[in-house]
């Protein structure tokens, strides 16, 4: 087991990474002992892992309640969030109660937002079961739900007390979900570690085959990179925005198509190619780097061409993005592979990228 630390003063917390962690009583005990626990999962993950987790925590918890939500990005909304509150209030949850998010990014975001909101904030534990959640969404305290006009526009920063990433849960991931998670792995290399990016390029076969050693390294290095960025800028007032590389274009794709049509990682994969193209058009990177990113995204089974939404619609959707300021869209571009920056870009240049990467 590997242990990392997200250093945020009195809000610091550990990230545990390794196989078999769902059965590690000692990892959960400090947070669940004597408390009422609410395990939030979905209809896909709960049948696989909920029983195992509940067995692990039941010996120490005062009580354990299971909340099973429908699966999918399209359910990341107010109505589904309300189901969490309904159960907690009906069961007498209080300020010492603890929520455990057992699932992927949607469950982590929703359970985290419920924890941030319930009685103005209670503790929660992230137990991510998808690659995307393990390498990205479970770390950093971003929680929230979608709005029809924009992804993740309603939420709060609320750090977990621990992230427990059991690598064994990746064995049950469908290939499409695995590829989607690898998009966020690529992102971390592209924005912060050229050597890691090189390693991903040379280990695509192992990653797609869910090789244990390759997965362990991918999750650990991604969490190291994200933890360092979050520690430097917890609430995204500056440098943390680089973690959104590929997301400005990607979120527009998700919103424009309708949530759940493309997986988040698929939209980010395509968005990274588009952001690389924009970086080249702005004179930051050579076209050969765009080709490298596009070829890697393609090799990992991710789309490299956006659906035809139209340039105007893309701009409308990107202006609603959380990174926009005063109606001006901020883009995450690459100065080189391994270093990202935040900048505005000329509308005409962005239009060239949008025209080049939408399906005809």
Written in H, E and C, the secondary structure of 312-325 is HHHHHHHHCCCCCE
**252-270 per-position pLDDT tens digit:** 999 999 998 999 999 999 9
Indicate whether 149 pLDDT > 90. no
DSSP structure class, residue 330:
P
Q: Which of 106, 109, 104, 110 lies closest to 48 in space, CA to CA?
A: 104
pLDDT digits 0-9 by tens, 301-339: 999 999 999 999 999 999 987 667 677 899 999 999 999
Question: CB of 267 within 8 A of CB of 255?
Answer: no
Q: Which residues are annotated as a binding site?
A: 71-76, 105-109, 129-130, 142, 151, 169-172, 184, 247, 264
Q: What is the pTM of this model?
A: 0.94
At 157, give phi and psi (nearest 5°): -85, 120
Complete DSSP assignment for 255-298 = HHH-TTSS-HHHHHHHHHHHHHHHHHHTTSS-HHHHHHHHHHHH
* The predicted structure's pLDDT at residue 82: 98
Catalytic residue among 123, 217, 226, 284: 226
pLDDT at residue 282 in the model: 98
Q: Is 158 a catalytic site residue?
A: no
To the nearest 10°, the Cα dihedral for 186, 189, 194, 199? -60
Residue 323: per-residue pLDDT: 66
Describe the crossing of helices 247-257 and 311-319 by its angle, rounded to 10 degrees: 110
To the query of whether residue 236 is one of the catalytic residues in this protein, the response is: yes
Q: Which of 142, 158, 217, 322 is catalytic?
A: 142
**% of residues, the chain, pLDDT over 90:** 94
Residue 155 has pLDDT above 80, yes or no: yes
pLDDT score at 84: 98
Active-site choice (123, 158, 264, 322): 264
The DSSP annotation for 141-164 comes to -EEEEEETTEEEEEEEE---SEEE
pLDDT above 70 coverage of the chain, percent:
99
For tokens 């571009």, the residue is 333
Residue 309 DSSP code: -
- CA–CA distance, 277 with 275 (Å, rounded to integer): 5
User: Known binding site for NAD(+): residues?
Assistant: 71-76, 105-109, 129-130, 142, 151, 169-172
Question: Annotated catalytic, 142?
Answer: yes
Contact yes or no for 41/71 (Cβ under 8 A): no
pLDDT at 151: 87
Interval 3-51: pLDDT, tens:
999 999 999 999 999 999 999 999 999 999 999 999 999 999 999 999 9
Residue 90 Cα distances to 51, 62, 85, 274, angstroms? 22, 16, 8, 47
Give me the pLDDT at residue 305, please.
Answer: 95
Topology annotation, domain 175-356: Dehydroquinate synthase-like, alpha domain (1.20.1090)
Write down the residue that tokens 């998808």 correspond to. Answer: 130
292 is catalytic: no
In this prediction, residue 136 has a pLDDT band, given cuts at 50, 70 and 90, of: very high
Task: Say what the pLDDT of residue 97 is.
Answer: 98
**Rounded to an integer, what distance in angstroms lies between the CA atom of residue 154 and that of residue 110?**
11
> What residues does each domain of the chain span?
2-172, 175-356
Annotated binding residues for Zn(2+), written as ranges, equal 184, 247, 264
Q: What architecture is the 2-172 domain classified under in CATH?
A: 3-Layer(aba) Sandwich (3.40)
pLDDT (tens digit, 9 = 90+) per residue, 157-205?
Answer: 999 999 999 999 999 999 999 999 999 999 999 999 999 999 999 999 9
Describe the crossing of helices 264-281 and 247-257 by its angle, rounded to 10 degrees: 130
């Amino acid at each position: 087991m590997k242990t990392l630390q997200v250093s945020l003063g009195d809000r610091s917390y550990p990230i545990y990474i390794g196989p078999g962690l769902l059965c590690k009583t000692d990892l959960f005990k400090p947070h669940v002992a004597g408390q009422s626990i609410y395990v939030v999962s979905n209809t896909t993950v709960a049948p696989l892992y909920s029983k195992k987790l509940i067995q692990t925590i039941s010996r120490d918890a005062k009580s354990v309640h299971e909340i099973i939500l429908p699966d999918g990005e399209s359910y990341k909304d107010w109505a589904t969030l309300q189901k969490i509150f309904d159960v907690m209030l009906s069961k007498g949850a209080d300020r010492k109660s603890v929520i455990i998010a057992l699932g992927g990014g949607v469950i982590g975001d929703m359970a985290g937002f419920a924890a941030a909101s319930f009685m103005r904030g209670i503790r929660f534990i992230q137990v991510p079961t998808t690659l995307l959640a393990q390498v990205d969404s479970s770390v950093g305290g971003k929680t929230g739900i979608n709005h029809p006009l924009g992804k993740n526009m309603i939420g709060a920063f609320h750090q977990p007390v621990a992230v427990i990433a059991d690598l064994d849960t990746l064995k049950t991931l469908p290939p499409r979900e695995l590829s989607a998670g690898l998009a966020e792995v690529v992102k971390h290399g592209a924005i912060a570690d050229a050597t890691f990016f090189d390693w991903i390029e040379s280990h695509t076969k192992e990653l797609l085959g869910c090789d244990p050693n390759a997965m362990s390294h991918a999750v650990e290095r991604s969490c190291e990179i994200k933890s360092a960025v979050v520690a430097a800028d917890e609430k995204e007032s500056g440098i943390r925005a680089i973690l959104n590389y590929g997301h400005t274009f990607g979120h527009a794709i998700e919103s424009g198509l309708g949530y759940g049509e493309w997986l988040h990682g698929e939209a980010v994969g395509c968005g990274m190619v588009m952001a690389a193209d924009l970086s080249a058009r702005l004179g930051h990177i050579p076209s050969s780097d765009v080709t490298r990113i596009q070829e890697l995204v393609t090799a990992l089974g991710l789309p490299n061409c956006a659906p035809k939404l139209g340039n105007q619609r893309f701009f409308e959707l990107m202006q609603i993005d959380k990174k926009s300021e005063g109606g001006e869209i901020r883009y995450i571009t690459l100065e080189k592979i391994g270093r990202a920056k935040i900048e505005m870009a000329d509308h005409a240049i962005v239009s060239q990228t949008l025209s080049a990467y939408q399906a005809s």
